[in-house]
Structure 1
Amino acid sequence: MPINHDTSFLEHMPQSCAVQFLDRVAASGDREAFRFPRGEAWESVTWRQAGDRVRRLAAGLLALGLEPEQRVGIASSTRYEWILADLAVMCAAGATTTVYPSTGGDDTAYILGDSECRIVFAEDESQLVKLRDHRAELPALEKVVVFDASLADGDWVISLDALAELGDSYLATDPDAVDTVAKGIGPDQLATLIYTSGTTGKPKGVRTLHRAWVFEGEAIRAQDLLHEDDLQFLWLPMAHSFGKVLLSTQLACGFATAIDGRVDKIVDNLGVVRPTFMGAAPRIFEKAHARIVTMQAAEGGAKEKIFKKAFEVGLKVDELEQAGTSVPLPLKLQHALFDKLVFSKVRDRFGGRVKFFISGSAALNADIAAWFHAAGILILEGYGMTENAAGATVNHPDAYKIGTVGQPFPGTEVRIGDNGEVQLKGPHVMAGYHNRPEATDEALTDDGWLRTGDKGELDADGFLKITGRIKELFKTSGGKYIAPPAIEAKFKAVCPYASQFMVFGAERNFVSALITLDPDAIAGWAAENGKAGKTYTELVNDDAVKAMVGEYVDVLNAQLNRWETIKKWRLLDHDLTIESGELTPSLKVKRNVVEANNKALIDGFYS
């Protein structure tokens, strides 16, 4: 069934994110808007309560002299206060500049300096220290607003409550100030500067306009994907465009959101919150899949046999249904039994009410998507980048193809350009890179299309399939092209202990790989195999671990073309981290950094 491509919504979109938010407050005042942890309990606020708080904070920013399109930074993890700050900035006609809490002091100073932030919201002492240490490099920075009130000094650093009190005084003389400012914001006014963490060079500030964010939310609403009675669980970094687009979607659709950015709490929180949907990066699904599979393997015996048989049946039923073939009655009965014994328990781990997950920010392995689908959990893969406000295509519950990233949003276009490059056009495309005209010219074609740098293909039904990053494709000395992301995702699907798998071999005569293991998963394996208490480094140097990983490499190689097979590989003595500079804050591998750090090791494969 094709999705709704009606574009009439384009004529009735709110003119800005500020108006979109204030309209939602007016329409849904008494409904729940947000819930968030306070100690061990969850606190809830209505749209009206959130609206009142945002108005006060926005008025506080106006009292500090914030002018249209001036930048305000937010250096914080994902939490309710992040969203209040962002909405207040936009309602005061400013432009939010996002900073990951894990970003180092030098890069934080570069981002806030390049964007000329006048005000910065800082989560805690670790963020405040970065600002103090680099104050000399931030001449435009006049005020810091801290979420932790104990850090306020009443001068350069003030609390969120103090900002709200400034707003109260401002509103006392002009009660309609925020509404007046919001109504004056045009669709082509700057809403955010999001700095792409980039795998090379200094980060670039993507200039995203109000119309882009408003469009993203309204396009999801027009596709009838989400409704007012849905409940989102939000943990994604709000400094990333994927998190931001989920906020604009919430404003358009009116559902409630439970917010907690602590990644180690995701599984626990899903059980408590019981959401109907959640956005996530593929790594979350890989880890969940690996955890469930290894737990069953540890049980062994009859339970493991039932588990394996259940997925064998589930995948077979899916295959028949997707081919439009009827499922034989004996298989149907088997499936119903396994649904009760196995699949319902898998669904319960995610709260038991999930209608679908949305996967984005990197490629999701089709085998992992099919495994979840067999358990009755639908993962809708989407595609986009910061340069197009995160959403360009998405699968739909009524129209999806596993292994693709779905069809284009209504009101947008996708084409395949030179070298098979995916190119995008529509109201969601950025206004360019901040202070980087040459980079902007490189990113946009003469006829106004955004070059994504991704290689892909469109099928007869308009579903897009991404086949790799053009820059990451390499040719062996034998002339064969290799797409590393496809091979890497396959390994993470077959090996539940893998964290990262990086493929190399440009201009070499065979393909090699560097592997890191998930510390939690391999610690579980060690406990079950008489090696409890060994450190990560001791485990990766253990012959039994090497033999176990080698068996998974053999399984991978059996699925690859002869020229793609991994001839040599090595386990690294550490997992990749943001702190080591080998991962971006959005958890993408900086392949060039990993390659440079391990140059001698990789060269040794070919000597």
Structure 2
Amino acid sequence: MTTITVSPGDLPLQCLYRWEKERGPQVYLTQPTGGGAVLDITWAQAAQQVRCMAGWLQSQGWPQGSRVAIIGKNSAHWILADLAIVMAGYVSVPIYPTFNAEALAYILAHSEAKALFVGKMDDTANIKNGVPSGLPLVALPLAPALAALQWADLVKNNAPLSGQPVADGDQTSTIIYTSGTTGKPKGVVHTFNTMAWGVSSATHRVRMDVNDRYISYLPLAHVAERMLVEQASLRYGGRIFFAESLDTFLMDLQRARPTIFFSVPRLWVKFQQGIHGKIPAPKLKRLLGLPLIGNLVRKKILKGLGLDQCRIAAGGAAPMPADVLQWYRNLGLDLIEVYGMTENSGVSHSTLPGSRQTGSVGLPYTGVESRVDVETGEIQMRCPALMKAYYREEAQTAEAFTTDGWLRTGDKGQIDAQGFLSITGRVKDIFKTSKGKYVAPAPIEDRLVLHPDIEACAVTGANLAQPLALVMLSPDAVARSQSSEGRQTLSTSLQLHLQAVNAMLEPHEKLDCLAAVTTAWTPENGFVTPTLKVKRNKVEEVYAPHFASWLAQGRPVVWADAS
């Protein structure tokens, strides 16, 4: 196996100093500021602001290694704040902007944060209710109005740190609190070396350079965005564009024309559904089959998505439906699937560029070892990108590792003779029906979300005779469901989809019914994580009291909002 090594020059601060010197006048960050205007920040300007903010942080006199938190939507200054924290000798604690006041208060207290940077937010209610009095707040540009210190003022009024302050690679660089689908957030401790090794391993398979363009829109508090966008751009000198909002996302993509683009499966499916809304699937398939016209159609669609320059497209954070993977590949986009988690810096497995394989998350990255536990079927892995611990949680840290040092992923899977890993679900998600049969929900959910009107779903049914599925409808479908005629048409379409899915399942897996949900599952209401993974326990907590009445109706499709 090829050995991956990390040199001091691979660490984030050293990379910043390198590009400050070699690419000072080149644009590093492009931030929309509203109304179509953008702010370009060069490498030299970025380094200057980071040095000034680091100077202010150091002047507070906190002990080295103190924690400083960041909350807010993605922005150029989120990344600059992150760099300033580590340049000052402190540990950054990123927090999802969708976390409620209770979770925010817990993380600030648990991490013993000395200050909080606040960026773009939809509202300040959680800040007002979740931040303890007396904690210093620093408002980043584009943050809502707060009684806080202002980034611009602190940068202007503080002298920049001189020289090139560096940290030892084994020092803690960040504590990433997982969004989690159950329980309280856990603080995953990473060092500069663990994350740098992860970047080295991942890019040993997928090359990057100074010409690459990224668009940052998935939460920077999540390990995937932190690694693929922030850390990778620092390592290789690429340019980051930021998305302004969901409403402008397509325009933001078209402006950035990223060469590297990562997204969660739910967004890849929405892109596909949007295209099918303009060109019905059968017609598009016919057009793509025509020699000359097909190529023109492919180019037009990819250009319309802003992905015509994309050379590395990836999906991850949740299972990617095989049909969706193949659909994009037929469109001419080399879509790969990646697998990882916060605890391993997001670096474990990926499919290979140019691969036409589906149903697998591919092979281990260079330097990664993986195995499947014989008794439980759990995927376990180890590599130098593993977390050091869960912060201040010794018992949970011990539970996360086997006695011989392998990380317990909590995922269930299989490894074939060629070493390809397939994920079959979460170990704890598998449930038993009243007939004593085990059901793995993930493969069934992969099939259900292929319906154009289903945006998310959850298969459940512990102690029921047969499982059932809750399907969250798209906004367009919800609008159509408001009329009796529209609801009947949707019911018929969903019933046909249920029949098609059930035809592919084992008898004990067949779904008794679909429950159509018209209330959006969002991070704000707690039904999904910030990366849009369904919180199964929340779904079951809210909807389980209605299961019996739904099943008593004896219909293949019921409407959850009627409960």
The alpha carbon displacement at 1:13 in A equals 5.0
* Cα distance between partner residues in 2 of 1:186 and 1:289: 45
Residues 206 and 296 (structure 1), Cα distance of their counterparts in 2 relative to 1, 3 Å cut: same
Equivalent residues in 2 for 1:532-551 (5 A)? 535=482, 542-551=487-496
Q: In structure 1, give the amino acid aligned to 2:316.
A: G
- The question of whether the paired residues in 2 share the 8 Å contact of 1:291 and 1:521 is answered with no
Verify: 1:240 aligned to 2:217, yes or no.
no
So what's the TM-score if we normalise by structure 2?
0.91
Of 558-567 and 250-259, the range deviating more from structure 2: 558-567
The alpha carbon displacement at 1:291 in A equals 1.4
- CA deviations on 1:207-251 (whole Å, 9 max, x unpaired) are 111112211222233334222212112211101111111211111
Match of 1:567 in 2: 512
The alpha carbon displacement at 1:455 in A equals 0.8
* Cα distance between partner residues in 2 of 1:522 and 1:348: 29
* Cα distance between partner residues in 2 of 1:11 and 1:391: 15
Equivalent residues in 2 for 1:144-293 (5 A)? 144-148=138-142, 151=145, 153=147, 157-168=148-159, 171=161, 175-176=162-163, 179-180=164-165, 182=166, 185-246=167-228, 247-260=230-243, 262-293=245-276
Verify: 1:72 aligned to 2:68, yes or no.
yes
The alpha carbon displacement at 1:119 in A equals 1.1
Among 432, 446, 452, the alignment partner of 1:496 is 452
* Matched position secondary structure for 1:390: coil
Match of 2:21 in 1: 26
The alpha carbon displacement at 1:578 in A equals 2.1
Verify: 1:307 aligned to 2:262, yes or no.
no
Match of 2:560 in 1: none
Match of 1:595 in 2: 540
Q: In structure 2, give the amino acid aligned to 1:280.
A: S
The alpha carbon displacement at 1:65 in A equals 2.1
Q: In structure 1, give the amino acid aligned to 2:81.
A: A
State the superposition RMSD in angstroms. Answer: 2.4
Of 221-230 and 427-436, the range deviating more from structure 2: 221-230
* Cα distance between partner residues in 2 of 1:555 and 1:447: 45
Q: In structure 2, give the amino acid aligned to 1:91.
A: M
* Cα distance between partner residues in 1 of 2:205 and 2:283: 39
The alpha carbon displacement at 1:150 in A equals 8.2
Match of 2:556 in 1: none
Of 234-243 and 410-419, the range deviating more from structure 2: 410-419
- CA deviations on 1:363-382 (whole Å, 9 max, x unpaired) are 11111000111111121110
* Cα distance between partner residues in 2 of 1:100 and 1:377: 30
The alpha carbon displacement at 1:89 in A equals 0.9
* Cα distance between partner residues in 1 of 2:44 and 2:239: 13
Q: In structure 2, give the amino acid aligned to 1:93.
A: G
Verify: 1:554 aligned to 2:531, yes or no.
no
The alpha carbon displacement at 1:147 in A equals 3.2
Match of 2:558 in 1: none
Of 209-218 and 121-130, the range deviating more from structure 2: 121-130
- The question of whether the paired residues in 1 share the 8 Å contact of 2:244 and 2:252 is answered with no
* Matched position secondary structure for 1:598: helix
Residues 412 and 27 (structure 1), Cα distance of their counterparts in 2 relative to 1, 3 Å cut: farther
- The question of whether the paired residues in 2 share the 8 Å contact of 1:61 and 1:167 is answered with no
Q: In structure 2, give the amino acid aligned to 1:593.
A: K
* Cα distance between partner residues in 2 of 1:264 and 1:463: 39
The alpha carbon displacement at 1:28 in A equals 3.2
Residues 86 and 473 (structure 1), Cα distance of their counterparts in 2 relative to 1, 3 Å cut: same
Q: In structure 2, give the amino acid aligned to 1:275.
A: P
Verify: 1:518 aligned to 2:471, yes or no.
no
- The question of whether the paired residues in 2 share the 8 Å contact of 1:412 and 1:424 is answered with yes
So what's the TM-score if we normalise by structure 1?
0.85
Runs of 5+ consecutive residues of structure 2 not aligned to the other structure: 553-563
Among 416, 419, 423, the alignment partner of 1:466 is 423
Equivalent residues in 2 for 1:319-398 (5 A)? 334-340=290-296, 342-351=297-306, 352-398=308-354
- The question of whether the paired residues in 2 share the 8 Å contact of 1:15 and 1:186 is answered with no
Match of 1:506 in 2: 462
Equivalent residues in 2 for 1:64-143 (5 A)? 64-123=60-119, 129-135=125-131, 137=132, 141-143=135-137
Match of 1:319 in 2: none
Matched length:
548
Runs of 5+ consecutive residues of structure 1 not aligned to the other structure: 298-303, 314-333, 527-533
Among 20, 36, 39, the alignment partner of 1:43 is 39
The alpha carbon displacement at 1:305 in A equals 5.0
* Matched position secondary structure for 2:152: helix
Identity %: 30
Residues 398 and 344 (structure 1), Cα distance of their counterparts in 2 relative to 1, 3 Å cut: closer
* Cα distance between partner residues in 2 of 1:571 and 1:275: 36
* Cα distance between partner residues in 2 of 1:131 and 1:560: 47
Q: In structure 2, give the amino acid aligned to 1:381.
A: E
Of 43-52 and 96-105, the range deviating more from structure 2: 43-52
Residues 125 and 229 (structure 1), Cα distance of their counterparts in 2 relative to 1, 3 Å cut: closer
Q: In structure 1, give the amino acid aligned to 2:460.
A: F
The alpha carbon displacement at 1:444 in A equals 1.1
Q: In structure 2, give the amino acid aligned to 1:408.
A: P
